[in-house]
Amino acid sequence: MTDERPDRIRGAYARLLGLYPQAFREQYADELLQAFDDRRSEPRFVGTVGGWRLVLFLLRDFVTSVPMTHHRRNDRRGVEGIMNDILRDLRFSVRMLLKNPMFTIAAVTTLALGIGLNAATFSTVYGLLLSPLPGTEDPDELVQIYREWPGIEYGSVSVPHYQDIRDRTEGVFDDVASWYLEPLSVASDGRSERTIGMVVSANFFQTFGVQPALGRAFIPGVEDRDPGAHAVAVVSHGFWESRFGADPGVVGRSISLNGHPFEIVGVAPADFDGPVNFAAPPIYVPLMMANVLTPAFNRLEARGSNSMNVVARLRDDATLDRATERLDAVLLQLREEYPRSYENQVGHTVVLQRDAGIHPSFGDAQRGMSTVMMVVVGLLLLIACVNVANLFLARARDRQREMGIRLSMGASRLRIIQQLLTESLLFSLVAGAAGLGLANVATGFLANFRPPIDGPWAFNVETNSAVLWFTASVSLAAGFIFGMAPALQSAKPDTVSAIKGASSARVGRSRASSALVVAQVALSLLLLISSGIFLRSLQAATQIDPGFDSPRNLVMASVDPGLQGYEEARSRAFWDRMLDEVSALPEVSGVGLAVVAPLSLGSSDRTVNVPGYEFAEGERASLHYTYVSEGYVEAMGIELAEGRSFTRQDDENGPPVMIVNQRFADRFWPGQSALGKIVETGGREWEVIGVVETGKYNSLGEDPTEFMYFPLRIMFRSDRVLVARAEGDPQAVLQRVQQIVRAADPEMPVYDVRTMEDHMGIALLPARLAGSVLGIFGLLGLTLAAVGIYGVMAYSVSQRTRELGIRVALGADRGSVLQLVLGEGLRLAALGTLIGLGGALAAAQLVRGLLYNASPIDPIAFTLVPLTLLGVAALAVYLPARRAARVDPIGALKSE
């Protein structure tokens, strides 16, 4: 270490020599390095402390010598002079900021919106994809390990497989940990709730290098042996605060998980939220307790059951390639030992934790999305910069005289550029601070965003130091971009004419800014109309027939008795009791059970064979299905077209029966009754006993699809959703349902409790998100366009003061001058609107698949938005036009 440091210092020193002027470097570079070496060998600069002393010594040397070598001998300003200049420039800039509040507000708002949007987007991208796992030690050494199958690059692993990896890769990994998410019923102090906990190997915290805030972590070598022996748990910091009021005595207390007592042994630190970027598991349980939590299934020994995620810490001397090689060798051994389990597996995939993002299988998609987002917001910022540059240019005209006078008094152009850049940098820093505030508000919303599906969501989105650096650099870059052009312009004027007040024609530049205004109007119109299309489509979605009756009066609640340790018979008894008691409620007219509620964005499908029907090549034989109880069809208000629905007698002892929807019947038995027909699937033959109307099953926007219902009683799964048709207040019914569950078992958690109407909000989520994001971008675009139009028109009016003055002097009335300027600005806006409308028409065709209405060319979006935009544009043009109309002809002419 001590041997290395001076060399690193020397390397850094050699690079920093670039700070000196080239001539000086050419002449003395060898000597400087020689002197460095001489210094380095002095006793006081030896060793670690000496190394730091040397760094400080060299820093001081740079501070004194760099300015000294940059200034010619006769330059009397010196360092002090420069500092004085900067202070004077700053004071002057602050005065300019305050003197012209309207200008300041317009410029700062524009920039703040651009910077804020960039900071917010960067925070999101950073938080979800780029940030190293917070709270972990040396996150760069962490890798994720997946099993690779043909066609599956990132497969999970089984517990025995994980243990083999852990025990056979000592040469390349310091530690190999694993985890999976498991729904848990958590009860303590008589309160119960359902959450998603994390079941982890005993070395989990050690692998991440996480020290508990209180108590201890799990003990490797002890708590990863003897299945079921160590009923201990670590709670997250957040859960400790919310559930236990940050009670320091929590360690040692008992908590019930799935009906089993566990002892809390530790509290995780506040900055560690587990290895997943968007969820914060409240509870960690050792892997050896897996079979206690879910007794129905021997996860610990099932080599074929792949549900574990593996995280490993690379040894200092190991590389990814060596790790992969080692894992390949392990696979070869396992293939010999367990030929049946490994015949298909082709290898392992090792991914650096920092490259994994949300999940490596989304790799390209998440990178692509974030790149597109960053490019779009970057473009918006660029537009904001150009707009502010326009504003500055418009003002530079007012200050040409000032600059001319300063130049003729002997100010160097460099000094003037320096002054103007100070001003624009000050602007950009003020705007950067405001933008950061905006970004904070936006990320605050985002961090509190909860998808309408219960779970320990936590979006790790915040403005951290990476974001601060990003914002600071973006602000300074922005300040430089919008400051440089006007600064160069201003420092150039021909002194004589500038003082006289004559303006030089800059037709080329004004044409460029006109084109820019047109582009901005078009872009913001495109974004706003797209947003309008989505919002109108949401409206249309409420008109879609989901295939069941009024979702407002349909309530649902999910319960999983298996989480409380109920075995099959007890679970079934529990559910029968629920059906009986809920249907006995006077305010309920129907009740039923299903394994999953409709429109939950995801459903199962299975391959069917229909005797007498030939599937064409490539025709889809895998169809969606679900299991429902008796009473479900009636409670949902699904119309029965033929036959009957399920009864209590349709269980495993009865003949296999099924219900299909109309589309299914029409596809396989067109023109015939489907009743009594046979469908082969899952190794059995099923008789169709009923046909129901075709509804929506996955999402409201889906095309009509075939669907099958099987009786819930023929299979067992402990978690179910209860649906009930409320005749009175649905919220009251929801309360009653929860009371009934609690009466049966006070510790039984009920989750996803809501009306079907609220539940359908999940299906509308993508459209709602797209509509909101586009809407925000569109509004921002509109603001930018308004500022842009204002800037260009104000500049044009200031350039043409004289011309307008002559017009007025020659008898043009104020109205016609107003009209002239208004017309000019509105022509630009109208051109942009036309182009934007064309783009929106094209975009509407692209997003067609996401929409719920028949035609994407929504008449309201396509008329209201352009009119609003033209209105805003008119206002932006009106302000400078009014100024033009007030031109004092005498003053305008005299100024020449």
Partner 1 sequence: MTDRSRLEAVLPLSPTAFHMLVSLADGPRHGYAIAREVEDLTEGRIVMGPGTLYGSLQRMTASGLIEEAENPGDDGLHARRRRYYRMTRLGSAALRSESERLLRAASVAQERLGT
Binding site for partner 1 (CB under 8 A): 20, 24, 27-28, 31-36, 38-39, 57-58, 60-62, 64-66, 68-69, 73
Q: What is the DSSP letter of 694?
A: -
Distance CA 460, CA 280 (A): 9
Q: How far is the CB of 22 from partner 1 (least distance, A)?
A: 13
Q: How far is the CB of 32 from partner 1 (least distance, A)?
A: 4
End-to-end Cα separation, the chain, in angstroms: 73
Residue 10 or 253 having the CB closest to partner 1: 10
Residue 75 or 167 having the CB closest to partner 1: 75
Kindly state the tokens that stand for 615.
Answer: 């599937």
Distance CA 34, CA 244 (A): 64
Residue 68 or 860 having the CB closest to partner 1: 68
Q: How far is the CB of 81 from partner 1 (least distance, A)?
A: 17
Q: How far is the CB of 55 from partner 1 (least distance, A)?
A: 11
Whether 759 contacts 553, CB under 8 Å? no
Residue among 626, 623, 641 at smallest CA distance from 592? 626
Residue 65 or 211 having the CB closest to partner 1: 65
Query: Which regions of 414-502 does DSSP assign to beta strands (E)?
Result: none
Residue 55 or 835 having the CB closest to partner 1: 55
Residue 20 or 777 having the CB closest to partner 1: 20
Residue among 201, 233, 217 at smallest CA distance from 135? 217
Q: How far is the CB of 512 from partner 1 (least distance, A)?
A: 45
Residue among 242, 225, 238, 235 at smallest CA distance from 265? 235
Judged on CB neighbours under 10 Å (0-12, 13-18, 19+), 105 is exposed
Kindly state the tokens that stand for 111.
Answer: 């920039």
Q: How far is the CB of 31 from partner 1 (least distance, A)?
A: 6
Helix (H) / strand (E) containing 861: helix 859-885
Residue 33 or 864 having the CB closest to partner 1: 33
Q: How far is the CB of 8 from partner 1 (least distance, A)?
A: 17
Residue 60 or 511 having the CB closest to partner 1: 60
Residue 55 or 499 having the CB closest to partner 1: 55
Torsions phi, psi of 286, nearest 5? -65, 145
Q: How far is the CB of 17 from partner 1 (least distance, A)?
A: 8
Kindly state the tokens that stand for 834.
Answer: 């036309």
Q: What is the DSSP letter of 41?
A: T
Q: How far is the CB of 57 from partner 1 (least distance, A)?
A: 6
CA of 733: how far to CAs of 197, 542, 586, in Å? 30, 23, 10
Residue 38 or 336 having the CB closest to partner 1: 38
Q: How far is the CB of 61 from partner 1 (least distance, A)?
A: 3
Instruction: Give, in degrees to the nearest 5, the angle at Cα 164 between 162 and 165.
Output: 65
Distance CA 873, CA 830 (A): 9
Distance CA 644, CA 783 (A): 60
Residue 38 or 226 having the CB closest to partner 1: 38
Residue 27 or 504 having the CB closest to partner 1: 27
Q: How far is the CB of 76 from partner 1 (least distance, A)?
A: 13
Residue among 777, 785, 780, 809 at smallest CA distance from 888? 809
Whether 691 contacts 640, CB under 8 Å? yes
Whether 178 contacts 103, CB under 8 Å? no
Beta strands 232-235 and 260-267, pairing class: parallel
Q: How far is the CB of 39 from partner 1 (least distance, A)?
A: 7
Residue among 824, 255, 763, 865 at smallest CA distance from 532? 865
Distance CA 809, CA 774 (A): 49
Q: How far is the CB of 2 from partner 1 (least distance, A)?
A: 21
Distance CA 704, CA 698 (A): 11
154 CB contacts (<8 Å, ≥6 apart)?
A: 146, 148, 349, 351, 359, 360, 361
Distance CA 775, CA 786 (A): 16
Q: How far is the CB of 48 from partner 1 (least distance, A)?
A: 20
DSSP 580-621: HHHHTSTTEEEEEEESS-SSSS--EEEE-B-TT-PPPTT---
Residue 34 or 816 having the CB closest to partner 1: 34
Residue 63 or 246 having the CB closest to partner 1: 63
